A and B are shown apart, each in its own frame.
Chain A
Amino acid sequence: GAGVSQSPRYKVAKRGQDVALRCDPISGHVSLFWYQQALGQGPEFLTYFQNEAQLDKSGLPSDRFFAERPEGSVSTLKIQRTQQEDSAVYLCASSRGDARLGYTEAFFGQGTRLTVV
């Protein structure tokens, strides 16, 4: 595709429900990031993949959050037993090169707006 694609665009979950958010990065992009953006705030880092390897998950707020990228392309962010404080926009970004070696532009998707009721 032409850009980073995220689905669904909107998700309403009842508290306690599990959700899965999908990210299709730009084809061939090595690096993939997940960010969480609360209303009126800047994005905050959750986790980073280089190909299929999850190299940094220091930003995941609890063990209810889990991310994977099994074939080095599509990634899924899973949130178990959702809580109201999980309500936010979840952004995925991909970049061509290894993000640790130097800056390569990160392209963001439109995000998934999660509302936990």
Chain B
Amino acid sequence: QQQVKQSPQSLIVQKGGISIINCAYENTAFDYFPWYQQFPGKGPALLIAIRPDVSEKKEGRFTISFNKSAKQFSLHIMDSQPGDSATYFCAARDSWGKLQFGAGTQVVVTP
């Protein structure tokens, strides 16, 4: 049973547009919420992460918004570029340190 639900499954955005990916969780014991980027044939790479006591974190073109009461968080990719085309996974860390991943969102940025 997936503990972190991610949507959409895929999205297509034009170059320069905004990509938005949403995740929801149930387990209030999760204490850290990273986003990973994965290219075909590669392992996931950490993109940006947030702790639940922070409502927003921005790093360059990537922003996480976190709503603790709703148990939801989202990734915004601003000014999307073709090089951003990849699969994005949200994740949540439990008290034992292991990550629970969402099912992934395949993002395609068209020129």
87-109 of chain A: CB within 8 A of chain B = 91, 93, 98-101, 103, 105-109
Residues A43 and B97 in contact in the complex (CB < 8 Å), given A108-B44, A110-B41, A110-B43: no
Q: What 0/1 pattern do residues 42 to 80 of A give for CB contact below 8 A with B?
A: 111100100000011001000000000000000000000
Q: Is B49 touching A103 in the complex (CB atoms < 8 A)?
A: yes
Query: Is A111 an interface position by the 8 A CB rule?
Result: yes
Chain B: residues with Cβ within 8 Å of the partner, total of 26
Complexed CA–CA distance, A109 and B79 (Å) = 29
Q: Is B101 touching A44 in the complex (CB atoms < 8 A)?
A: yes
Q: Is A110 touching B42 in the complex (CB atoms < 8 A)?
A: yes
Complexed CA–CA distance, A80 and B103 (Å) = 27
Q: Is A42 touching B42 in the complex (CB atoms < 8 A)?
A: no
Query: Is A40 an interface position by the 8 A CB rule?
Result: yes
Partner of B104, one of A42, A55, A98, A99: A42
Chain A residues with Cβ under 8 A from B31's Cβ? 103
Q: Is B101 touching A43 in the complex (CB atoms < 8 A)?
A: yes
Q: Is B103 touching A56 in the complex (CB atoms < 8 A)?
A: no
Complexed CA–CA distance, A81 and B27 (Å) = 35
Chain B residues with Cβ under 8 A from A100's Cβ? 95-97
Q: Which residue of B lies closest to A97 (CB)?
A: B97
Partner of A41, one of B45, B46, B100, B104: B104
Q: Which residue of B lies closest to A50 (CB)?
A: B97
Chain B residues with Cβ under 8 A from A48's Cβ? 96-98
Q: Is A45 touching B100 in the complex (CB atoms < 8 A)?
A: yes
List 10 additional contacts besides A41-B104, A48-B96, A100-B97; criterion CB under 8 Å: A4-B43, A35-B99, A42-B103, A43-B89, A45-B98, A48-B97, A99-B98, A103-B32, A106-B99, A110-B42
